[in-house]
Amino acid sequence: MISELLSSVVDIVWGMPLVFLLIGGGFYLIAISKMQILRGFGHAIGLLFKEAKSEGSDAPGQLSHFRALTNALSATVGMGNIGGVAVAITQGGPGAIFWMWITALVGMNTKFFECTLSMMFRGKDYQGEVQGGPMYVIENALPKYWKPLAVMFAVCGMVGTLSIFNANQITNLIVETVRPAFGAAEGDLAFGFKASLVTGLVLAGMVFYILLGGLQRLANVTSKLVPSMCVIYVLACLIILIQNLPAIPAVFASIFKEAFGIEAIGGGITGAAVRAIMIIGVKRAAFSNEAGMGTAPMAHGNAKTKEPVSEGLVAMLGPFIDTIVICTMTALVILITVPEVVGQEGLSGILVTRQAFEVSFSGVGPYVLVFVGFLFSFSSLVGFANYNQKCWNYLFKGRFSLGNKTFIVFYCSTIVLGAIAELTDVINLLDIGFALMAIPNMLATIVLAPKVHALAKDYFNRVVKVKVS
């Protein structure tokens, strides 16, 4: 009954109105900026190598631009890039990838606006630390009658920023990889449950230790982990793609054809088929790069700078790295090596990618993916904890804290639950949380967009030395 309820709620909240809010709202932001924000792409890369101390000792915030980005990417670059892409392909076919690309390109502009707003209207938590995020933007920049939407975002954020998908997927990957070593049959539910529980407890224990160290320990971990894991995964995918160069053009052709229903799953060219594929692509892209969801503004809100626009530009790099680069790599690898999974709903996302690596790296493929998958998953377990705690602190303002140990116990407990839960229920629960987070965040971003554009014009003219209109 719970599974059916979650599925029904997902169908309601992820209807065309929300897709229109994300994509239509994104195009509205593009119309305001005239896509000129992308002219700051190179400048944004340069900012990554600028130390926080160069902003001045009196600049608000705690992290450098680089650490703020890796802190955000630690959550966005996760199992959504490995397992989530596989889910998109099995549910919507190659065409879903095209809509992931569109959502990411629109999302780069969206993330600039929402993260710049987060810097413009930062607030302070109950400990007096500078914080950013949609709840603070709504509270500080909009009339008081908007306050319920700030609370709505934080409450839904407590659900949407649980890292149960990452816990579930890396657990499934580890269990299925080690199962033969223990002589357990594939359908041995008892072994699967016990192994999943042990894996979940180990992951929870590791995250517990890092969270006890606070934001600085978390940032130290993500700043080292995120760049290395991205490089390792991209190199592994490149090896597979180089081995299969002749097949790449046909895969790209299938992505574009099926995106518009020319070869829609089930046959026939229908508007319903295109709409279904589009919604799947938008959902999985939003799940992966989180543009418009309001999560990244909470991470970038800790950046140490006096220039809100500078952090907005750095944030813009997130969807590019996450979806345009890493998700595309995963999609190409799957569609080239295991095209038979297209349309086979119900398959566990990460196990599809595991199958692709097994085909390409005979014998060692699953172990390569376990290693990389663990890095991706663990970074997200830590990154989402940062988001979840910000929502917790906004709602409870120090109550039930016990030195933040109450939150840490709560969050780590959900990791264990995610490890033993059904994948479908996990995805549906997070999809509901993300959808309801996006509503207040996108509404506030759209209403306040002209303020961001005015500030961006000044910054581009003054700092980037590029004239924008």
Q: What is the pLDDT of residue 141?
A: 92
Out of 210-224, 226-240, 403-417, 420-434, which region has the weakest mean confidence (pLDDT)? 210-224
Confidence of residue 52 (pLDDT cuts 50, 70, 90): very low
Per the listing, tokens 């955000």 go with 72
Confidence of residue 206 (pLDDT cuts 50, 70, 90): confident
Nearest to 283 by CA among 293, 295, 271: 293
CATH of the domain at 454: 1.20.1740
- Burial class (CB within 10 angstroms; exposed 0-12, middle 13-18, buried 19+) of 59: middle
Q: What is the pLDDT of residue 267?
A: 43
Cα 71 to Cα 226: distance, rounded to the nearest angstrom: 8
Residue 469 forms part of a structural domain: no
3-state secondary structure of 293: coil
Number of domains in the chain: 1
User: For the segment 382-399, what is each residue's pLDDT rounded down to a tens digit?
Assistant: 878 888 888 988 888 877
Query: Higher pLDDT residue, 400 or 372?
Result: 372
- Burial class (CB within 10 angstroms; exposed 0-12, middle 13-18, buried 19+) of 302: buried
Confidence of residue 5 (pLDDT cuts 50, 70, 90): confident
Residue 387 forms part of a structural domain: yes
Average pLDDT of the residues in 157-166? 86
What dihedral angle (degrees, nearest 10) is formed by the CA atoms of 456, 462, 466, 469? 50
Do 464 and 41 form a contact (C-beta atoms < 8 A)?
no
Q: Residue 154: pLDDT above 90?
A: yes
Residue 67 forms part of a structural domain: yes
Query: Higher pLDDT residue, 236 or 342?
Result: 236
Q: Residue 343: pLDDT above 60?
A: no
Beta bridge partners of 130: 124
Cα 38 to Cα 9: distance, rounded to the nearest angstrom: 36
Cα 180 to Cα 183: distance, rounded to the nearest angstrom: 5
Average pLDDT of the residues in 1-5? 80
Per the listing, tokens 């994509």 go with 23
Cα 438 to Cα 15: distance, rounded to the nearest angstrom: 13
Residue 323 forms part of a structural domain: yes
- State the helix-helix crossing angle for 349-360 and 214-243, rounded to 10 degrees: 50
Confidence of residue 275 (pLDDT cuts 50, 70, 90): low
Residue 444 forms part of a structural domain: yes
Instruction: Tell me the average pLDDT of the chain.
Output: 79
User: For the segment 400-421, what is each residue's pLDDT rounded down to a tens digit?
Assistant: 655 568 888 889 999 998 888 8
Average pLDDT of the residues in 158-182? 81
Query: Higher pLDDT residue, 409 or 54?
Result: 409
Cα 41 to Cα 423: distance, rounded to the nearest angstrom: 37
A 10 A CB-CB count for 398 gives 10
Average pLDDT of the residues in 461-465? 78
Q: What is the pLDDT of residue 348?
A: 59
Q: Residue 136: pLDDT above 80?
A: yes
Task: Write the Ramachandran bin of 292: left for phi over 0, alpha for psi from -120 to 50, otherwise beta.
Answer: left
Confidence of residue 153 (pLDDT cuts 50, 70, 90): very high
**Sign of the torsion angle spanned by Cα atoms 401, 405, 409, 414:** positive
Residue 91 forms part of a structural domain: yes
Question: How far separated are the first and last CA of the chain, in Å rounded?
Answer: 54
Cα 180 to Cα 262: distance, rounded to the nearest angstrom: 42
Confidence of residue 172 (pLDDT cuts 50, 70, 90): confident
Residue 360 forms part of a structural domain: yes
Domain containing 89: what range?
2-245+278-464
Average pLDDT of the residues in 293-300? 83
Q: Residue 30: pLDDT above 70?
A: yes
Residue 261 forms part of a structural domain: no
